[in-house]
Homo-oligomer: A and B are copies of this chain.
């Protein structure tokens, strides 16, 4: 068994939305196909992957560093000891040979796209949905039949008013979602508080509403928002300050009694460990949100879960960012706390398979083999057009 081909391409996910930090008018992602020499139904079994939104395609790093190393590796060096499937840790080690420690950014994003394709391929070779493959091989057989999901929405658009925001949220509730998330930080605090109150008129209270500042606030602003939002008892206050300002996070946690969620812009085990060590995060209420499609992949994420549990936390406090099928599969198969969802944005890469139904704010993972990208028609058409044979 060997990898017979690796292909990469860049896809556009441009849109006119913006958060407190960036607009997405030029946003791209990398798409990967890892093809094996195992043939089923007349076709080579192939895994597909992509990087998550927000960090752009990584074609340069993929073509110049990561993919050549995998192509140059001896085929058996990529297999597990039994020789009946691939070994994601060996693949990661080879892909990152001669890469210095530290500096976990674009490289982690590039590696995550390949890693997603490797796990899709492994589950397909085992003829299992990824969530079941993870459950059996990495979670002692445990899995969740239903997973908490929430739409990452409430972006700023030019001309979008409170009524439009309410309509958007009503749409999510109509689709079966219960908890929702909106952006804050790209308007004045008064305007943002009005946005929050407008959405609470739809959700009923703050317990099903998370707000996301996308790392925009300095300490004084984060504390001011925290004080103003405290009465709402929100689901969580996400990424209040710079993702690497652990001291700011700790200071906010000392003053804001509500839940804090952060981590989507931490791209390694080492960075996540620093958040846990220095960020003042509280194991009884706060949430960790690393994105497996940005931080070297699910392979690194397994080490992150071990690290989090090793510090006395429950893995239920982990809610992967990204709103993609990988997040849903790993949340179910590894029994994490929940998964973001993108029913409306970052299409076709955001969101779950076409037949996944949301009810009471929960999703059931499907029985599609692998990650299930073939069961999301627009996504699979895009993937086939970009990295199909």
Number of chain A interface residues as a range: 35 or more
In the bound complex, do residue B61 and residue A57 qualify as a contact, i.e. CB atoms below 8 Å apart? no
Chain B CB within 8 A of A43 CB: no
A98 cross-chain contacts in B, Cβ below 8 A: 22-26
> Which of A104, A215, A266: most chain B Cβ within 10 A?
A104
Interface centre among A21, A22, A103, A246 (most CB of B within 10 A): A103
A246 cross-chain contacts in B, Cβ below 8 A: 274, 277-278
Residues in B neighbouring A247, C-beta threshold 8 A: 277
Interface string of A245-272 (1 = CB under 8 A from B): 1110000000000000000011110110
CA distance A199 to B98 in the complex (A): 27
Binds B, one of A105-113, A224-232, A378-386: A105-113
Instruction: Report copies per complex.
Output: 2
| A40 CB–B CB distance under 8 Å | no
- Do B59 and A215 touch across chains, with their CB atoms under 8 A apart? no
A328-352, CB under 8 A of B: which get 1 and which 0?
0000000000000000000000000
- Report how far A354 CA is from B278 CA in the complex, Å: 47
* Among candidates B100, B245, B273, residue contacting A270 with C-beta atoms closer than 8 Å: B245
Which of B102, B242, B265, B273 is within 8 Å of A266, CB to CB? B102
Q: Give complex CA distance A243, B102 in Å.
A: 6
Once the chains bind, are A64 and B57 in contact (CB under 8 Å)? yes
A274 CB to closest chain B CB, in angstroms? 6
Docked Cα-Cα span, A102 to B246, in Å, equals 12
Q: Return the CB mask of A81-106 against B: 1 if under 8 Å, else 0.
A: 00000000000000000111111111
Query: Closest approach, in angstroms, between the C-beta of A165 and any C-beta of chain B?
Result: 23
> Which residues from B are CB-within-8-Å of A60?
58-61, 63-64
CB proximity of A243 to chain B, nearest CB, Å: 4
Residue of B22, B28, B101, B245 touching A99 (CB-CB under 8 A): B22
Q: Is A375 an interface residue, CB under 8 A from the partner?
A: no
- For A267, what are the chain B residues with a Cβ–Cβ distance below 8 Å? 102-103, 105
- Residues on B with beta carbons closer than 8 Å to the beta carbon of A265: 100-103
Give the distance to chain B from A276, nearest Cβ to Cβ, in Å: 11
**For A108, what are the chain B residues with a Cβ–Cβ distance below 8 Å?**
103, 105
Across-interface contacts of A245 in B (CB, < 8 A): 270, 273
Q: Residue on B with the closest CB to A215?
A: B101
For the complex, what is the distance from the CA of A361 to the CA of B79, rounded to whole Å? 52
Q: Known interface pairs A21-B101, A101-B21, A102-B215. Does A244 touch B274 (Cβ–Cβ under 8 Å)?
A: yes
A103/B100 contact (C-beta < 8 A), A59-B64, A242-B270 known? no
Question: Contacts A101-B243, A102-B267, A103-B106 given; 20 further ones with Cβ under 8 A?
Answer: A21-B100, A22-B98, A59-B60, A60-B60, A100-B265, A101-B215, A101-B244, A101-B265, A102-B215, A102-B243, A102-B244, A103-B105, A105-B105, A106-B107, A242-B270, A244-B268, A244-B271, A244-B274, A246-B274, A274-B274
- Could you show 12 A-B contacts with beta carbons less than 8 Å apart? A22-B100, A24-B98, A26-B98, A55-B100, A55-B103, A58-B60, A59-B60, A100-B265, A102-B267, A103-B267, A105-B105, A246-B278
Residue numbers of A with Cβ under 8 A of B are 21-26, 28, 54-61, 63-65, 98-109, 214-215, 242-247, 265-268, 270-271, 273-274, 277-278, 294
